[in-house]
Amino acid sequence: MPIYTRETGGLWYVDIIGPSGKRIRRSTGTKNEKAAQEYHDRLKGDLWRVIKLEERVVRTFDEAALRWLKEQDHKRSIKGDTLKIRRLRPLFEKVKLHLITADHCKSAVDQAAPDAVNATKNRYLALLRAILRKAEKEWLWIEKAPHLTLYREEKRRIRWIKPEEAQTLIQHLPEHLVPIVRLALATGLRKSNVYGMRWDQIDMRRNVAWIHPDEAKAGRAIGVPLNQTAMDAIRSQVGKHNEVVFTYRGKPIAGAHNDGFYKACEQAGISDFRFHDLRHTWASWLIQAGVGLAELQELGGWESIEMVRRYAHLAPDHLHKHSVHIDKLMTHF
């Protein structure tokens, strides 16, 4: 069947075998049968010219990157894609798109992010893989995209600190960072949400704040209950700025620099600790206090329960009733 429609959605799809024997199935993007048939005929003609007449236009990485950014402009991660492409472009400047190999890609990523961990390098590789697959399967710019394998990622341990360590850290912080860190420890909010918090996100009478979907990593709104520690941190900033909660020398904090934070960690004798680890610390404290995984997921705004299971090992108390069965079996040993 050259074109067909599905029961749901109403869009028409093409299903054709190209001159090379490759099967192509994709949406035409239209609910109009006549327009879908025209799309089918045009696509089949393009495929025939590419294979039989070798009319494939030689494309560059720049062209592919630009088209990718235009088509993916709606993505929440588009800023990250733009930054990665900006670093990769000079490394593919003289390489035609159809000549790009897996070795080219890995070499480019190693040069674009030389000091990055494997997880970061994999994000670059995943972006390149997505662009090249688009060029093959949808844009028909290349015959075959290279197969890219990702680097092996080591599971990073959850870094958290004890309450007494947190107290020592706060004692060494610059004055403007004290309420910021206290709020992060009290709520588990991500760095961008803490630094960027505005007064119109807070209800001082109900002791709640909210993170809008476009500001949340998971892309959905988060309601944040503000405990006394959080409220004290916020109230200490009243009157300093009309729009944002936290400031430095009377101005909003731009870029959320970590120099003061890392220096305080060093002075407090706390190593291998990032600002984001304050969120891990908050979650670890709650788990150890008996808060359930489902409740922690809702409080932290995680998209899946799997993200929260990282903290489950910190509270094995619920397993004690099962482990005692061994006692009965070994009573007479």
Q: What average pLDDT values come out for the chain (333 residues) when binned by 10 residues?
A: 76 77 76 84 70 66 94 86 94 88 94 90 96 90 90 82 96 95 95 93 94 76 92 95 92 78 96 93 91 90 84 70 70 70
**For position 295, what pLDDT does the model report?**
92
Angle at 43 between CA 37 and CA 44, to 5 degrees: 90
Question: What distance in Å separates the CA atoms of residue 12 and residue 32, rounded to the nearest whole number?
Answer: 7
Domain boundaries, the chain: 3-52, 61-137, 163-318
**For position 146, what pLDDT does the model report?**
93
Task: From the candidates 160, 195, 285, 311, give the one annotated as an active-site residue.
Answer: 311
Is 106 noted as a catalytic residue in this protein?
A: no
Which CATH fold would you assign to the domain 163-318?
hpI Integrase; Chain A (1.10.443)
**For position 321, what pLDDT does the model report?**
67
**For position 218, what pLDDT does the model report?**
66
Task: From the candidates 40, 84, 279, 280, give the one annotated as an active-site residue.
Answer: 279
Is 302 noted as a catalytic residue in this protein?
A: yes
Is 217 noted as a catalytic residue in this protein?
A: yes
Question: What distance in Å separates the CA atoms of residue 185 and residue 182, rounded to the nearest whole number?
Answer: 5
Is 311 noted as a catalytic residue in this protein?
A: yes
**16 three-state secondary structure:** strand
**For position 317, what pLDDT does the model report?**
64
**For position 319, what pLDDT does the model report?**
64
Is 257 noted as a catalytic residue in this protein?
A: no
Q: With CA atoms as reference, report the closest residue to 81 among 91, 66, 95, 93.
A: 66
* Amino acid (1-letter code) at residue 186: A
DSSP class per residue in 90-112: GGGTT-BGGG--HHHHHHHHHHH
Question: What distance in Å separates the CA atoms of residue 14 and residue 36, rounded to the nearest whole number?
Answer: 8
Q: With CA atoms as reference, report the closest residue to 244 among 283, 277, 200.
A: 200
Is 190 noted as a catalytic residue in this protein?
A: yes
Task: From the candidates 40, 106, 172, 190, give the one annotated as an active-site residue.
Answer: 190
Q: Is the pTM of this model over 0.85?
A: no
